[in-house]
């Protein structure tokens, strides 16, 4: 059985269909008395707007896409939760896809016939695509970039200050009196911008403390996964002069490092202090609790950094927001 229509509501409230439409959609100004009368009838009849028809008429779908490299990484799962909450408050649905860091998959999303054209906007954390590919993309779906792949401000871009985050974490370890601070997670290749920025912050902190960088204490990893953190710290404690502290480039690396240190009989933080970056919830329940650098949350950005994507705004894009990070000790 079909539900009540705008015509049914208009007839019961003794107003025009246009007036009912204005009340339902919040368009033209309607007097408080008239709005209350129409709303009463809407409630009595149980009217529900046809969202599909409304969105088609407005040239929108009511959906945005979130595209990340790895869904099983807790940081991206927690990020997705924040984005979904912000989108829901504005009447949008979020669809999530995973690229596995595959450049071809990322480029596919930029094509003219891409499924991305079904959405009002695209939030993407890219690994491989270039600034030129983004500027020359065949579809013109509004895009907000997430993460640290550098695009010179040509598109809205939300990221933390990775240099400051790593510098702050390393300084925290130095302030504890540690002098052989290792770093786990460097990625010295084209798609490793996040890691490279964190290595820069690590080096800056040591330089400011007057400590020469020991290159044997910097361990590269192809991904930021627990297993790789464990393997890296095993290499470090096997050195003739092992570290007394470790900066891990994310919390998963740090959790793997803590596990490996504990199994090898090293006490954390007594023998080796460990700091991560990302402040994922899992770190609060490790043993010991993980000291970490917490990126700013959605609440730190009034209005949210995601609003441009679903407004379809024609205004020039913003430069990247780079709010400061802070340290949460375990």
DSSP-based three-state secondary structure for 198? helix
Q: Is 156 exposed, middle or buried (0-12, 13-18, 19+ CB in 10 A)?
A: buried
Rounded CA-CA distance 123/180 in Å is 40
Q: How confident is residue 25, by pLDDT bands cut at 50, 70 and 90?
A: confident
Nearest in space to 64 (alpha carbons), one of 307, 303, 304, 298: 307
Distances (CA, A) of 121 to 95, 172, 190, 282, 313: 11, 39, 27, 31, 10
Beta-strand ranges (E) seen in the chain are 63-68, 93-98, 121-124, 143-146, 157-158, 181-186, 218-220, 245-248, 273-277, 291-294, 326-328
Sheet strand arrangement including 291-294: 218-220, 181-186, 245-248, 273-277, 291-294, 326-328
Q: What is the pLDDT of residue 296?
A: 67
Q: What is the pLDDT of residue 289?
A: 93
Q: Which of 53-67, 105-119, 125-139, 238-252 has the lowest mean pLDDT?
A: 53-67
What's the gap between Cα 217 and its chain centre?
29
Rounded CA-CA distance 292/250 in Å is 8
Q: What is the dihedral of CA 183, 184, 185, 186, to 10 degrees?
A: 40
184 - beta bridge partners?
219, 248
Rounded CA-CA distance 159/157 in Å is 7
For residues 271-300, average pLDDT: 85
Q: Are strands 93-98 and 157-158 parallel, antiparallel or unpaired?
A: unpaired
312 vs 60: which has the higher pLDDT:
60
Q: Are strands 291-294 and 326-328 parallel, antiparallel or unpaired?
A: antiparallel
DSSP-based three-state secondary structure for 316? coil
Rounded CA-CA distance 213/165 in Å is 18
Assess whether pLDDT exceeds 60 at residue 82.
yes
Q: What is the pLDDT of residue 305?
A: 37
Rounded CA-CA distance 166/201 in Å is 5
Average pLDDT, the chain: 83
Q: What angle do CA 307, 29, 33 make, to 5 degrees?
A: 125
Contact 109, 124 (CB under 8 A): yes
Q: How confident is residue 192, by pLDDT bands cut at 50, 70 and 90?
A: confident
Q: What is the pLDDT of residue 4?
A: 85
Rounded CA-CA distance 325/293 in Å is 6
Contact 245, 272 (CB under 8 A): yes
Assess whether pLDDT exceeds 80 at residue 142.
yes
This prediction has a pTM of: 0.72
Rounded CA-CA distance 138/141 in Å is 9
Rounded CA-CA distance 230/304 in Å is 36
Q: What is the dihedral of CA 299, 226, 68, 202, to 10 degrees?
A: 60
């Amino acid at each position: 059985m079909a539900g009540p229509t705008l015509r049914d509501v208009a007839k019961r409230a003794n107003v025009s269909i246009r007036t009912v439409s204005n009340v339902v959609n919040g368009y033209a100004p309607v007097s408080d008395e008239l709005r209350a009368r129409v709303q009463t009838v809407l409630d009595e009849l149980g009217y529900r707007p046809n969202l599909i028809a409304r969105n088609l008429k407005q040239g929108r779908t009511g959906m945005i896409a979130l595209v990340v490299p790895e869904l099983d990484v807790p940081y991206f799962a927690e990020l997705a939760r924040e984005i979904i909450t912000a989108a829901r408050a504005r009447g949008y649905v979020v669809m999530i896809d995973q690229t596995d860091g595959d450049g071809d998959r990322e480029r596919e999303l930029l094509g003219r016939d891409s499924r991305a054209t079904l959405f009002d906007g695209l939030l993407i954390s890219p690994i491989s695509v270039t600034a030129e590919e983004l500027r020359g993309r065949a579809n013109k779906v509004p895009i907000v970039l997430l993460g640290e792949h550098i695009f010179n401000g040509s598109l809205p871009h939300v990221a933390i200050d990775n240099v400051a985050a790593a510098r702050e974490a390393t300084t925290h370890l130095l302030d504890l009196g540690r002098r052989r601070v290792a770093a786990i997670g460097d990625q010295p290749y084209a798609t490793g911008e996040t890691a490279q920025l964190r290595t820069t912050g690590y080096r800056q902190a040591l330089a400011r403390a007057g400590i020469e960088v020991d290159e044997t204490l910097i361990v590269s990893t192809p991904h930021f996964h627990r297993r790789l953190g464990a393997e890296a710290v095993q290499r470090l404690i096997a050195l003739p002069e092992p570290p007394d502290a470790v900066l891990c480039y994310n919390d998963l690396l740090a959790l793997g490092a803590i596990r490996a240190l504990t199994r090898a009989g090293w006490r954390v933080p007594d023998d080796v202090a460990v700091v991560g970056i990302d402040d994922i919830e899992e770190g609060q329940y490790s043993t010991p609790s993980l000291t970490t650098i917490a990126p700013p949350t959605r609440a730190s950005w009034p209005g949210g950094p995601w609003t441009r994507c679903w407004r379809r705004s024609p205004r020039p894009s913003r430069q990247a927001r780079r709010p400061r990070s802070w340290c949460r000790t375990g």
